[in-house]
Amino acid sequence: MEKRELVIIGAGPAGLTAAIYGRRAGLDVLLLEKGTPGGQINITDEIENWPGVKHASGQELGNMFREHAEKFNTEFRDTDVRKVEIREGRKIVVTEKEEIEAEAVIICTGAYFRRLGCEGEAEHIGQGVSYCAVCDGAFFEDETIAVIGGGNTAVEEGTYLTKFAKKVYIVHRRDEFRADRAAIEHALSNPKIEPVWNSVVERIEGDGMVENIVLKNVKTGEVSNLAVAGVFMFVGQAPYDEPVRGLVKAAKGGWIITNEDMETSVEGIYAAGDVREKGLRQVITAAGDGAVAAMSAVSYINEQVHLRSLLMEPEHVVAFFYSSIDGNQVQLSEKALKEAETMGKKLTLVDGYRNGKMVEKLELPGMPTLVELRKGEVVRTESPATLEKVLSFLK
């Protein structure tokens, strides 16, 4: 089976940033992506909150990210990842055509716009029902269309769609938008935009192309028709979590839970970007997550590879775990090493402060701790307070 150090799944801003950081730290990086790299920014019209670039299209920024990752010789592979599995402690990435073993995996699969689920929606996808204003807006030149939702996406994309449509209704189930104030003011000051409050879509109708939507007022129960040629659904997002569904802990809706080091509930598997449970899903936060995840993976891999060969693979090892930020423990470790040499015994020093994962893995009580391992199995531990205790453990 192919063996790699770091496998990143998804080439959006999180994945591409993780690749840049991983490569710069000297890792072997394989970036798996289905289709065009860039992720959701490819379908974003304008990006004006990436510092240093006052204005760019999503595609322009996405291309720059990709070129940057290429500059550091990231290996890209176009493939569909089916799942990530743990087999006998090994991380296996199963794709449509192969299996790849990875030391560490970063999930950067992103999110997508949810379907509304009303009658007539599925049949009219591509026939007037759309989830991407940048992709499909131009088809509605001089038409009347509806946007469904009340978040930032609905309000901002609704404004964008006025470039093409002669009229844009924003249909929202409450009587106020949840989008931020600036976006709302911008939208509501546009004469082409008309909000339709307290309303939900019951049905999308049209023989072939969309012609009409049937709305229900949630306050009065009144049902009405709205003649439109297109419906843009922006009712929130959902994560592309399939490859790790059931493997890592997730919040309601499937958003992957990580700590601030982007670690998931499974050791050596990280998540970064929109797929994560988080407050702000933006290009900049995705990129930030990617950098953190890569650096966490770098220390994990270094720790794993180095310590595995030092502690888990030999027949017999006695190791002294100490904390490098405790002066007394550092002194004790140095003296112990010297004495062990004089006794003709081999003692392996491990900085447990910097290798906390191994301390956890071996279930050590804390530091300083002496541990005797046979073929990677702990047979004895002791927390020595003095040099004498260390020496008697070694005897």
Region of 171-179, 259-267, 318-326, 347-355 interacting with ligand NAP (CB under 6 A): 171-179
45, 132, 326, 351: the active-site residue = 132
Cβ proximity to ligand NAP: between 33 and 156 the closer is 156
> Does residue 154 touch ligand NAP according to CB under 6 A?
yes
Collapse the DSSP code of 284 into the 3-class scheme (helix H, G, I; strand E, B; otherwise coil) and give the result: helix
DSSP string, 181-231: HHHHHHHHT-TTEEEETTEEEEEEE-SSS--EEEEEETTT--EEEEE-SEE
Catalytic residue at 274? Answer: no
> Does residue 219 touch ligand NAP according to CB under 6 A?
no
108, 136, 241, 274: the active-site residue = 136
Q: What is the CA radius of gyration of the chain?
A: 28
Cα distance between residue 328 and residue 323, in whole Å: 9
Restricted to residues 244-283, the positions that interact with ligand NAP (CB under 6 A) are 281
Cα distance between residue 171 and residue 152, in whole Å: 13
Q: How distant, in Å, are the alpha carbons of 133, 296, 322, 356 from that of 384? A: 66, 31, 10, 19
H/E segment holding residue 77: strand 75-78
Cβ proximity to ligand NAP: between 82 and 173 the closer is 173
Region of 173-181, 247-255, 296-304, 384-392 interacting with ligand NAP (CB under 6 A): 173-181
Q: Shortest approach of ligand NAP to residue 60 CB, angstroms? A: 17
Region of 232-240, 314-322, 354-362, 370-378 interacting with ligand NAP (CB under 6 A): 232-240
Residue 114 tokens, joined: 């949810």
368 cis-preceded (ω within 30 degrees of 0): yes
Single-letter residue type at 75? E
Cα distance between residue 146 and residue 104, in whole Å: 44
Catalytic residue at 118? Answer: no
Cα distance between residue 145 and residue 232, in whole Å: 8
Return the C-alpha torsion angle 232, 238, 239, 240, nearest 10. Answer: -60
> Does residue 12 touch ligand NAP according to CB under 6 A?
no
Residue 86 tokens, joined: 């743990």
Q: Shortest approach of ligand NAP to residue 29 CB, angstroms? A: 28
> Does residue 152 touch ligand NAP according to CB under 6 A?
yes
* Residue sitting closest to ligand NAP (CB): 151
Neighbours of 390 (CB within 10 A): 23
Which residues lie across from 217 on neighbouring strands? Answer: 199
> Does residue 236 touch ligand NAP according to CB under 6 A?
yes
Region of 129-137, 170-178, 323-331, 387-395 interacting with ligand NAP (CB under 6 A): 170-178
Cβ proximity to ligand NAP: between 154 and 256 the closer is 154
Restricted to residues 105-124, the positions that interact with ligand NAP (CB under 6 A) are 116
Tell which one of 33, 121, 156, 289 touches ligand NAP (CB under 6 A).
156
Catalytic residue at 136? Answer: yes
> Does residue 38 touch ligand NAP according to CB under 6 A?
no
Q: Which residues sit at the interface with ligand NAP, rule CB under 6 A? A: 116, 149-154, 156, 173-174, 178, 200, 234-237, 281
The residues carrying an active-site annotation are: 132, 135-136
